[in-house]
Structure 1
Amino acid sequence: MKDIEYQTAPLWLTTEYLEPILRKYKNDQGLFITKMDIKPATKKGDNYASVMTRVSVNFVFSSKEREHASYIVKTSHESDPFITDIMSQYDIYNTEMLMYQQVLPKLTELLQEIGDKDKLFADTIYVDYEHSAIIFEDLSVLKFVTPDRLVGMDEAQTMLTLKKLAKMHATAAVLNERMPGVLTKLQRGIFNRQTCGFAPYFEGVLEACADFAGECTSLGSYYKNKLLKLKPHVMEYGMRSFEPHHGDFLTLTHGDVWTNNVMLRYNYSGSRDEKSASGRAIKDIMLIDLQFSSWTSPAVDLHYFFQTSLPLEFKLHRENEFVKYYHGFLSETLLQLHYKGHIPSLHEFCVQMESHRFYALVSSLCNQAVLINDKTDEADFNTLIGSGERSRKFHSLLYTNKRIQDNAIALLPYYDRKGLLDVTE
């Protein structure tokens, strides 16, 4: 199995490639590039599923006017057949290209239809199906930054993310109502019936959690044994929790909404009321990385977001408050867009959240362990998804993180009281 230590930019990403794209985007056939710099847009441990490249370009228009711009080029791990094989099973590249080329612009149009000027996503510059690549605006130029994945989100960041997520879910439900079948074909989320490619990862990290529980005086063999019995069933139960349930309100989910897939912009003048823990006023947020988008219950997005991105105190004591906040924007946007389907009441939505609760378990015990890993020397996709000795050591390493240990100590008894650690027929 090949290990990827450093992902270089694609060889085809050249001036000759980018120039005609910019000519079309800028509507100027005389445009030419005078300088282009390429460098990685993420560091190791921040992104496992794709290669992110930042391209800084100087170009000249036909009018002789000069401009400098920066773009993000998102590509597949085309140099690694193991990664390519796994990701092809989840169809993530085709999914995200479809999202950026066809779906996201239509969701934006729906918000504009009701006079809502909120921008949810980065603008698409170009979608290249031949190279499985997407070029979109570089939000960092607009002073957007990624929250610290090792710290998690504070209250203001959480609220703004939920607001934007609710609007995405509402507009997607309306889009599918107006154009039936457009979104329901997206069925390759992190858990799906077409593939179990991520099974070594989920089973391996759950076993690491069990080993930690067995050594932890606060947990012990009771939880270790339960987790080891659950391990062979985690993929099936994960699929059941991800799939739509009877009576659910359904929409297109983001599929991977966590700290690193949200970008924030602060108003450094401090004139806004919404403040982060650091005292800076938050001006806006954008949702990025929609490669696992899937048609199912929005509850899976909320469980994943809460468990991967929020402090333990928020998870334990503020979920109901956050769900109520999200539901307000969801129902309001659906009403404004004259959605003809049933808009779930807050109670109905809370019941829906509970019926998908196992997704919270896998999100907290498995996903968060990887997403807030602070030991990145071995953090590559091959090690993460593998089943050999190196992978086993890496999975165990994840449970040396103090935050992950604290989460397990607090949440395992909670999941046990809900019967989520039990193996059932």
Structure 2
Amino acid sequence: MSCAPPWVDAALVQRALDAEAASADGEAHAQAPAVRSVSAQPLGAAGENFASRLLRVRAQLEGGAQRSLVLKCEAEDAAVRDSIRQSGFFPREIAFLTRVYPTMQGLLEAAAPGRFPPLAARCLLHGAEPHAFLLLEDLGERGFLTADRVRGLGLRHSLLALSALARLHAASAAALAARPPLARELSCPWRTAREDPFDNVLQLCFGLAGEAALLWPDLPDEYARVLARMKAAVYDKFAALCRPKPGRFNVIVHADYWTNNILFRYEHGVPVEVRVVDYQISHVSSPAMDLLRFLYTSLHQDVLERHMDLLVREYHAALQETLELLGIESPTLKDVWADINAHGFYGLFGAVLSVPFMRAEKGNAPDLDSAFKGEGGISKETYHTCSRFLTYVLKDFRRRGWLCWEEFCDP
């Protein structure tokens, strides 16, 4: 049974396929085969698509052929939808996929023809009525799959994902240099805590994490007290870290670079190629933001513990190589680590907010939309499922000086 909204019909999909055909042929009047019917099914488990709906739309074409597209549209819940509209997430992603990313990919192609396959899905059609939406190519048709978010990524997957991230960062730096107005178009989306209901979600998560941490046998109670004390300040710290730093190396960050937004194509069971999806909060900032988000949410814990230095080093090598091809001076490895250290607290935000959602078994993920509305959706017990990982993260952050310990510990 199809779950497509009533406005997702054969005519809409026809417009998308005709636009694709016209782009491929270079002729505005080119047309695709006629769409006879459409159906849709949810893409991803409940709780995995915060602030939006994600559907796989299947079209039956004239002559018996089929096409599959991915529809991303606004959340059904009016309260979530209205708040997200204030944040401008859909216009931001549309701008990235239709104007910014084509510039980035064009610069890469000009610098090294045929060397760099695309990293983003093609947007065939987008609109704002009756709801904001994007119709995207279905990367699943080309063999791209998500990895196991519950287990976390192994070393091979992690290296490939960081190479892709380095390419995105390098190409975006070139695009910002070629078109400086992009920096204004993709400015930081986060406002003050008073203006943003996301502050309530952060306070809820840090408060619950602090309560849960009191019961973790390998973590001293003082960590729980620090988490509880910092919850009122975490949004402002988070928003300040997201803003670009003048005089530093800034790029267009993905800002939600984690397992479910990174798709892999495999050959003989080995990951060989990557596509990256979901650019709704992309903005100009330090590349450290994406590195910390990825490293402290998406890796298998053993990989994080044993190979973090290697992963940062390989990211830098790929970044440096791509920037040199684009004629842009690269930051040094020391510079990259300096930015990671300066933004370290951002990694804690990612771990506390996101890991319980990311590591939950499919079908049992907490409901972030409900938490966003203040209707529960997450509990103290949620944090017990990932206590081993969060215990490691908290101790590691204190060791690295990223926990703002002196600011929030007992006087």
Q: Given the alignment, which residue of 350, 368, 376 partners 1:363?
A: 350
Q: What is the SS of the residue equivalent to 2:135?
A: strand
Is residue 9 from structure 1 mapped to residue 4 from structure 2 by the alignment? yes
Residue 12 of structure 1, CA deviation: 0.4
Report the CA distance shift for 1:297/1:192 in structure 2 as closer, same or farther (over 3 A). farther
Q: Which amino acid aligns with 1:120?
A: L
Letter in 1 for 2:403: L
1:128 deviation in Å? Answer: 1.7
Q: How many Å separate the matches in 1 of 2:5 and 2:45?
A: 17
Query: 1:373, CA displacement in angstroms?
Result: 2.3
The one-letter code of the counterpart of 2:370 is T
CA shift, 1:423, in A, is: 5.9
Match of residue 330 from structure 2: 343
- Amino acid of the residue matched to residue 56 of structure 1? R
Counterpart-to-counterpart distance in 2, 1:338 and 1:281: 32
Paired position in structure 2 for 1:276: none
Identify which of 289, 292, 314 aligns with 1:303: 292
Structure 1 unaligned spans of 5+: 1-6, 269-279
Q: Which residue of 2 aligns with 1:3?
A: none
Map 1:213-228 onto structure 2 (within 5 A): 213-228=213-228
Q: Does 1:325 align with 2:314?
A: yes
- Residue 72 of structure 1 aligns to a residue whose secondary structure is strand
Cα distance in 1 between the residues matched to 2:402 and 2:256: 26
Which letter maps to 2:181? G
Once the two structures are superposed, residues 380-416 of structure 1 have per-residue CA deviations (whole angstroms, 9 ceiling, x without a partner) of 343222435x34xx23132121xx2002222222223
Aligned to 2:25: none
Say whether the 8 Å CA contact 2:4–2:39 is kept in structure 1.
Answer: no
SS of residue paired to 1:89: helix
CA distance in structure 2 between the aligned counterparts of 1:395 and 1:56, rounded to whole angstroms: 37
Kindly indicate whether residue 146 of structure 2 is the aligned counterpart of residue 146 of structure 1. Answer: yes
| CA distance in 2 between partners of 1:175 and 1:245 (Å) | 18
Which residues in structure 2 correspond to 1:191-340 (within 5 Å)?
Answer: 191-193=190-192, 195-268=195-268, 280-339=269-328
Partner residue of 1:275?
A: none
Partner secondary structure for residue 303 of structure 1: helix
Structure 1 pair 350–419 and aligned structure 2 pair: CA distance change class (3 A): closer
The one-letter amino acid paired with 1:234 is V
Query: Offset at 1:49?
Result: 2.2
Q: What residue is the counterpart of 2:121 in the other structure?
A: 122
Task: Return the match for 2:61 from 47, 54, 59.
Answer: 59
Q: Distance in 1 between matches of 2:179 and 2:233?
A: 37
Deviation of 1:364 after TM superposition, in Å, equals 1.3
Give the AA of the match of 2:18: R
- Where in structure 2 are the equivalents of 1:71-110 lying within 5 Å? 71-77=69-75, 79-110=76-107
CA distance in structure 1 between the aligned counterparts of 2:48 and 2:361, rounded to whole angstroms: 10
Counterpart position of 1:407 = 389
Partners of 1:101 and 1:127 within 8 A in 2: no
Amino acid of the residue matched to residue 122 of structure 2? D
* Structure 2 unpaired stretches of 5+: 23-29
Deviates more, 1:47-56 or 1:252-261: 47-56
Distance 1:356 1:232 in 2: 19
Name whichever of 220-229 and 302-311 sits farther off.
Answer: 220-229
TM-score (norm 2): 0.90
Alignment check: 8 A CA contact 1:111 1:118 kept: no
Contact 1:83 1:381 in 2 (8 A): no
Q: Which amino acid aligns with 2:357?
A: V
Q: CA deviation at 1:361?
A: 1.1
In the alignment, structure 1 residue 37 sits paired with structure 2 residue 24: no
Counterpart in the other structure of 2:52: 50
Counterpart residue number, 1:18: 13
Compared CA separation, residues 184 and 155, structure 1 to 2 (3 A)? farther
What code does the residue aligned with 1:288 have?
V
Whether the 8 Å CA contact 1:233–1:423 is kept in 2: the answer is: no
1:315-336 CA deviation, whole Å, 9 max, x = no partner?
Answer: 2332221111111111111111
- The equivalent of 1:387 in structure 2 is 374
* Alpha-carbon distance between aligned partners in 1 of 2:331 and 2:286, rounded to the nearest angstrom: 12
Amino acid at match of 1:72: V
Matched-pair contact (CA < 8 Å) for 2:10–2:35: yes
The question of whether the paired residues in 1 share the 8 Å contact of 2:192 and 2:236 is answered with no
In structure 1, what is the Cα distance between the partners aligned to 2:370 and 2:380? 12
Q: How far apart are the structure 1 equivalents of 2:289 and 2:253? A: 8
Identify if the C-alpha distance between structure 1 residues 30 and 217 changes in structure 2 by more than 3 Å, giving closer, same or farther.
Answer: closer
Percent of residue pairs identical = 24
User: In the aligned structure 1, how far is the partner of 2:294 from the partner of 2:287?
Assistant: 11
Partner of 1:420: 403
2:69 is paired with a residue whose SS is: strand
Q: Could you tell me whether the CA contact under 8 Å between 1:169 and 1:252 is conserved in 2? A: yes
